[in-house]
Structure 1
């Protein structure tokens, strides 16, 4: 019979997995789908898989497994709104630096802002780890140059 887990344990694992994968520069796996970029992290009964397609405009999905069963997922779509003002590389650097700071606080949701040079990262969302939706932005001065939409939560049988 499958053991149960607490929401706090799930959230702590999601933060830990995010710290060790995209933000942590994890080595990519062989693609699961044509053209996808896939990264994984595992610890004890928990496993995490992030798979995305694209570069400056991209789409992806993160899934958390507990005892080999999917229990949580998040979908996301990000895009450059002003390619003349920012490129994918610069956006990625700001995102990684900003998310690293948020994850260091032990969370991945909630109001968060981080400035780097003349760029400002902003994350806004509603809900909690069990059911949420949100947006992240990068501003150059007062203009949005990048946006990402995300949503997810617990998976139930």
Structure 2
């Protein structure tokens, strides 16, 4: 698998999916979850999440209908905060994902009185990380994520 193509696709999917702020490509599932599907070329991503607050979900990337990459995530807005405003900062962060690690937002992003930070270990093949948002230096949001390549070892 071409890992550069995977990285470019994940970045594009995050920008065009939840990061776009649009909801016209969201599907409400029978189990109460929401799915955002994005495809380009031979790649397709399913971003499926539950919530509300707190929220949890997973992103799965398929290459020619075979799962090749996955990330799971869990996050929450601190009670009493403006959820809509915090989610807008998350969308802005996703739409500015760094080239070297496009799974969430950049290491730091400033938006008015909000500051988004993202710390991760690893690379697209195997990683974990934590993102947070502060407003005037007070924590208003935090999330954790983990993921990497899946189903890459073939039986001989």
TM-score category by the smaller chain? 0.7 to 0.9
TM-score by length of 1: 0.87
State the 1:20 CA deviation.
Answer: 1.1
Q: CA RMSD in A?
A: 1.8
Q: How does 1:3-152 map to 2 (within 5 A)?
A: 5-24=1-20, 25-26=22-23, 27-31=25-29, 33-81=30-78, 83-84=79-80, 86-102=81-97, 107-108=101-102, 112-152=107-147
State the 1:107 CA deviation.
Answer: 4.5
How many positions carry a matched residue from both structures?
Answer: 149
4+ residue runs of structure 1 moved beyond 2 angstroms?
A: none
Q: Distance in 2 between matches of 1:129 and 1:37?
A: 24
Q: Distance in 1 between matches of 2:40 and 2:97?
A: 21
Q: Which runs of 5+ in 2 are unaligned?
A: none
State the 1:30 CA deviation.
Answer: 4.1
Q: Please state whether the residue corresponding to 1:29 is helix, strand or coil.
A: strand
State the 1:56 CA deviation.
Answer: 2.6
Q: Distance in 2 between matches of 1:45 and 1:123?
A: 29
